[in-house]
Structure 1
Amino acid sequence: MLPGLNIDTNALRIPSTVVDDQVRIQRLVRAFQEFGHQVANTNPLDLPGKAPPPPELLLDFYGFTEYDLDREFALGPQVLPSFKTTTRQYMTLREILTTCKSIYCGSIGAEYSHLATNEERSWIRERIESPEPYQFPAEEKKRILDRLVWSTNFDKFLAAKFPNAKRFGLEGVESQLPAVKAVIDASAEYGVRNIIFPCCHRGKLNVLSNVTRKPNELIFNEFLGELKSRHGIPGDVKYHLGMNYERETPSGKKVNISILPNPSHLEAQNPVAQDMARAVQQQNEEDRASTMVFNSHTDAAFSGQGFIYETLGLSALKSYETGGTIHLVVNNQVGFTIDPDSARTSSNVSDIVKTIGAPVFHVNTDDVEAVVFVCKLTAGYCAKFAKDCLIDMICYRKNGYNEMD
């Protein structure tokens, strides 16, 4: 009894079974947040021989059975808070399970549980734990389709006219161009005015043509070998060349894009890009956030070359940091001719960025809307926290397994 009040405190106690059940539900949701990416539908090839799901994602791990599927549990801070409304405060176990699978095991596999601060984790969780995380208006869907058409037609033309030349086409990763443009457009909305863009071989000609508007006649003449350097001797190969261009976004923002010229081992350009961004920032100390690095890679190079780890190691040092880099990994699932299982020890190509506490978003390249959503999300994260983040765009090489298409 409460002193002075005729109230039985035992009647106010929540039964221990209810508390225990709610804790088990919280653990289940947390397991999807942490391990859901391992079974997400992010591989467009959907190859056989998948590993079984982690036991933490199974109901019996928490003592639930199929008879519990229609029991209701309270929504709250640790259980899908974005789905709680004034008219809906409970969901059945079946609904919770379906929702968690939709969020964490669909076309996007998010890894953010390893982040150091609750602010970062909550920021990401609020944006992906949503009933409709990426419902684009019709105008934006048309823009995405338009970008797909431009990029695919460019590659089709090159394939028809120069079938025996190296061109590193986008067949199998057609959403790369919409991804690049989405990062640029979203970053501009957060105040970015200068983007240093070290670009990987795959899709670079497409990026030069459709992002920085390099005249197509120049690109085609490079295929024909008709262009000479100013010294009268053959110049570099066409996919090693760079470009500077001021691009206007759909909202009218203007962004200066610098695509770097690169050597054959492309990751060597990464520290150069960081130094370039740092130099621009030091010349504009009052608006450092207006300059960023957007770095594209391919999977085998990203997990295998020392330039990656060395450059990542400088990302948070006061004398070297540039306010966060967005890494876009074009995950071909093959390194020239080698399978991923024989190319690296880590489970994912992206595991190396966990050493600097960067979030990772694995995404199925065949779901272009999911790709665009993730690109916008990473642009927001980079602007908010001034830290690196990574997009693992899982794709394939449709026309060949090495450098030829």
Structure 2
Amino acid sequence: MGLEGQEFVGSPEKEAGPSWQKKHWPIDNADELISALDPTKMGVEIKAAAEKSGKSMSDAEVADAAENSIRAMMLIRTYRVRGHLGANLDPLGISKLDEPADLTPEFHGITPDEMDKPVYLGGVLGFETASIREIEAVLRANYCGPVGLEYMHIADVEERRFLQDRFEGKDAEIHFTPEGKKAILNKVIEGEEYENFLGKKYVGTKRFGLDGGESMLPALENIIKYGGQAGVRDIVYGMAHRGRLNILANVMAKPYKTIFHEFHGGSANPDDVGGSGDVKYHLGTSTDREFDGINVHMSLVPNPSHLEAVDPVVLGKVRAQQVARDDLEKHDQ
């Protein structure tokens, strides 16, 4: 740690040691979960909101409203943690899964008579006040649609809030045009059929397929497309083995004949380049892709069997490009 020479044990004076202090800790008092679990704080907020609107509430009414708000907030939190278990992942409607009981208002003590009663939320989901029926409809649209959002296990608070701000709320639904849906489907089919072909043509050959993760292909395509529109001109990728051959072919546009040549034992290196080469799922490539007239240069860094060894190489490569372009100042902010 750089402080090995210091005497920490037996010293009468406090000495500076390595800091283990966590950022954003303790939790901000304004955190909505704290509000949800503290009836006193929730009651104060409800009373203040009522006074602001020119209404007066008795202590009993405040306590009742605070209890309803707490139940609503716990319902919201349950959807954030477990809502993905109720996602509609079968577009044909063939299979029906039992929905977790805790995703229902009844589980949280909310009766049918209370479904249309206004509940104070203080801005959560974009509502100052809303009925449980409205809250449930928004939560189901956010978390139980065709995409299951599971993110509450992420330790970094800022990362969680980044996802939450973009996926959650009454106006947070994502809509695709018919053409956009077809483009996504085509890319998924390309990836799946590519894996099927390799599985039949090169039986038993180690290839680390993308099976089950084909949605990565349209996701990367959109990152490249919209990144280019936002001014991105270079992308450097670092990844492990799983799905690398598919990314090389269907995102990096590495020619199929080159990949198949490597499957047959051919070298990826030109004849005038020495060396013994490497297995095909370690190799990288560089290419240019054009979207809507915007050219984006991409490079996939080669990766050894020590899977995370590529990470500092990617960071160093990007840093070197930023230095060469005198583009460091805004990235260091």
Instruction: Determine if the TM-score, normalized by the shorter chain, exceeds 0.5.
Output: yes
8 Å CA contact 2:76, 2:139 repeated in 1: no
Instruction: Note closer, same or farther for the CA distance 1:226–1:38 as it changes in structure 2 (3 Å cut).
Output: closer
Q: Match of 2:278?
A: 236
Aligned identity (percent) is 31
Match of 1:111 in 2: 152
1:97 to 108, 120, 136: 136
Question: Is residue 326 of structure 2 the alignment partner of residue 285 of structure 1?
Answer: yes
Cα-to-partner distance string for 1:268-317 (whole Å, 9 max, x where unaligned): 0001101111111122234777xxxxxxxxxxxxxxxxxxxxxxxxxxxx
Per the TM alignment, residue 16 of structure 1 is displaced from its structure 2 partner at its CA by 2.2
Q: Partners of 1:73 and 1:225 in 2: how far apart?
A: 69
Q: Deviations over 1:5-47 (max 9, x none)?
A: xxxxxx9413325532453255235524653467464999xxx
Q: Which amino acid aligns with 2:150?
A: G
SS in 2 for 1:111: coil
- The residue number in structure 2 matching 1:182 is 222
TM-score of the pair, normalised by structure 1: 0.55
How far the C-alpha of 1:225 sits from its partner, in A, is 0.6
Give the distance between the partners of 2:265 and 2:110, measured in 1 at CA: 68
Q: Which has the higher contact order (CA 8 A, sep 6+)?
A: 1
1:164 aligns with 2:212: no
What CA distance in whole angstroms lies between the structure 1 residues aligned with 2:257 and 2:210?
20
CA distance in 2, matches of 1:221, 1:260: 20
Deviation track 1:342-388 (CA, whole Å, cap 9, x = no partner) reads: xxxxxxxxxxxxxxxxxxxxxxxxxxxxxxxxxxxxxxxxxxxx9xx
Q: Does 1:35 align with 2:81?
A: yes
Structure 1 range deviating more: 262-271 or 164-173: 164-173
Alignment correspondent of 2:183: 143
CA distance in 2, matches of 1:121, 1:288: 26
Aligned 1:4-403 pairs, distance under 5 A: 12-14=55-57, 15-17=61-63, 19-28=65-74, 30-32=76-78, 34-36=80-82, 39=85, 41=87, 59=105, 64-74=109-119, 77-81=122-126, 90-91=130-131, 93-105=132-144, 107-111=148-152, 121=161, 124-125=164-165, 127-130=167-170, 133-227=173-267, 229=269, 230=271, 234-249=276-291, 251-286=292-327
Shift of 1:134: 1.8
> SS in structure 1 opposite 2:222?
helix
Q: Aligned partners of 2:185, 2:222: CA distance in 1, in Å?
A: 13
> Which amino acid in structure 1 is aligned with residue 116 of structure 2?
R
SS of the residue 2:151 aligns to: strand
Are residues 222 and 114 of structure 1, via their aligned partners in 2, closer, same or farther at CA, if it must alter by over 3 Å? Answer: closer
Listed one character per residue, the Cα deviations across residues 152-179 of structure 1 (whole Å, up to 9, x for unaligned) are 2222222221112112222222222122
What is the alpha-carbon distance in structure 2 between the residues aligned to residue 225 and residue 180 of structure 1? Answer: 29
Name the one with the larger strand percent: 1
| Structure-2 separation of matches of 1:204 and 1:216 | 13
Q: Is the 8 A contact 2:322 2:328 kept in 1?
A: yes
- Structure 1 residue matching 2:150: 3-state secondary structure: strand
Using the TM superposition, give the Cα deviation of residue 260 of structure 1 relative to its aligned residue in structure 2, in angstroms.
0.4
Instruction: Map Cα deviations across residues 62-81 of structure 1 (whole Å, 9 max, x no partner).
Output: 5x243445332247543432
Shift in Å, 1:140:
0.9
Matched-pair contact (CA < 8 Å) for 2:154–2:160: no
Q: Distance in 2 between matches of 1:227 and 1:122?
A: 44
Structure 2 unaligned spans of 5+: 1-53, 91-97
Q: Distance in 2 between matches of 1:76 and 1:113?
A: 24
Q: CA deviation at 1:245?
A: 0.8
CA distance in 2, matches of 1:284, 1:79: 43
TM superposition score normalised by structure 2: 0.66
Deviation (angstroms), 1:147 = 1.1
- Paired with 1:191 and 1:245, the residues of 2 have a C-alpha distance of 18
Using the TM superposition, give the Cα deviation of residue 222 of structure 1 relative to its aligned residue in structure 2, in angstroms.
Answer: 0.5
Is the CA contact (8 Å cut-off) linking 1:193 and 1:255 kept in structure 2? yes
Please identify the structure whose Cα radius of gyration is greater.
2
Query: 1:216 offset after TM fit, Å?
Result: 0.9
Contact persistence 1:34–1:113 (CA under 8 A): no
CA gap 1:287/1:173 in 2 versus in 1, 3 angstroms: same
